[in-house]
Amino acid sequence: MAAECIFCKIIDGSIPSKKIFEDNEVIVFNDINPIAKVHFLIVPKLHIESLASCEAQHQALLGKMLLLAPKLAKEQGLSGFRTMINTGREGGQEVFHIHVHVFGGGDKLPRT
Ligand code: AMP
Ligand code: ZN
């Protein structure tokens, strides 16, 4: 838990979210500013800053997050989707608590 982290606050319930899945290790909620019809974020409960801060001990957790993507995408009605992990400011990361974006729905997504 990092005191000033918005996703840690969502995890502890002090900031509301549109939750679509939760277990002891992971929470999944809709992005507040969606870029597609369906857009949710897969977030570990452990505060890890970014993919660049992950270590071997996080391997299983990262795998679990990725495996959740197709399962939840299907539940949300998507037949195809895109995953994205922004890493570091230059990578477009704005919230420094690692998360996997999953989005899709509607028209075919553009190439980039
Ligand atoms: P990134 O640029 O990969 O760090 O993405 C951060 C994402 O978090 C953005 O898509 C934001 O729209 C989303 N976001 C920020 N605050 C919230 C919030 N309170 N609830 C849901 N999503 C949020
Ligand atoms: Zn955090």
Q: Is residue 16 in contact with ligand 1, taking CB distance under 6 Å?
A: no
Per-residue pLDDT tens digits for 79-89: 999 999 999 99
Residue 47 annotated in active site: no
Question: Over 90: is that where the pLDDT of 109 sits?
Answer: no
Residue 84 lies in a domain: yes
Position 41 confidence tier, pLDDT thresholds 50, 70, 90 = very high
For the residues 27-35, what does the mean pLDDT come to? 97
- What pTM, to 2 d.p., does this model score? 0.97
Question: Over 90: is that where the pLDDT of 42 sits?
Answer: yes
DSSP symbol at 76: T
The count of structural domains within the chain is 1
Looking at the DSSP bridge assignments, the partners of residue 30 are 40
- Residue 73's CATH number: 3.30.428.10
User: Residues with Cβ within 5 Å of ion ligand 2?
Assistant: 2, 5, 7-8, 47, 97
Q: Give the domain extent around 20.
A: 6-104
Residue 110 lies in a domain: no
For the residues 25-32, what does the mean pLDDT come to? 98
| Ligand located closest to 14 CA | 1
Residue 17 lies in a domain: yes
Residue 67 lies in a domain: yes
For 52, list phi and psi in degrees, rounded to 5.
-70, -15
Position 17 confidence tier, pLDDT thresholds 50, 70, 90 = very high
